[in-house]
Amino acid sequence: MYKLVALDMDGTLLNSQKAISPRTKQAIQAARDNGVQVVLASGRPLEGMTKYLDELGMTGENDYVLSYNASLVQRVESKTVIRKQIMTGRDAKNIASLASDFGTFIHAFTPERGLITPENNPYTEHESVINGVPTTVLDFAELADDEEVIKVMMVADPEVLTAAINQLPESLYTQYTVVQSAPFFLELMNPNSNKGTGVAMLAEHLGLDASEVICMGDAGNDHHMIKYAGLGVAMGNATDDIKAIANHVTDTNDNDGVAKVIEEFVLGK
């Protein structure tokens, strides 16, 4: 019944040690051997996903990946972009002004400059390390209004970020897709960019219906794809609001939650 499985990475596919368990790896391979398309859908850039795509053997021209919360949907081998919904330098400067008002740090990803931030901080450093991408310190005022920006993130201690979120103007939610991917990460993207629209586009590209799709995640940036999927799955470690919208709640990322879903709903074990 299910022909496409979309997996969030951090908190879902990866356990607390940022590793894929042997059972999960085996289940994914078995699904792929049965003709099921498995894709990673992450807030990370492709550089931060490559190690895991290699580990899973999902590196061919018929393998796909959703990076930057599906701002980009690409073929893995050639990196050909089949969907792109991004922002501009003007957006980045507007959001940077808000971040300054609310006392949060900020960083962004751009196609030309990579990871940029006006000020070094522990959260941008964390982003840099987990994705293996260098950081460039750059005043966002130097960005051209029409320069391509993939996504912008407000980053701060969780209590500071929560206070900032509570002050965000309502208009921001119509201008952008706004999702919280971690207690210290708030991501802002093109309003047409989210994991749900990305998975829907890929399903259409593959000739599949939503009823044939499983999506699994644990955080706010997984909301759209869990709502879209025929079977939307929340991890046992997911936030309460994600569990509330899911069709099914599986075990945690440290207890092979992904593998258990694939075994039950795809492999029929």
- Which of the residues are catalytic? 8
Q: In terms of Cα–Cα distance, which of 72, 64, 84 is closest to 208?
A: 64
Angle at alpha carbon of residue 169, lines to 163 and 172, rounded to 5°? 110
CA dist 253 and 21 (Å) reads: 9
User: Residue 36 in contact with residue 4, Cβ under 8 Å?
Assistant: yes
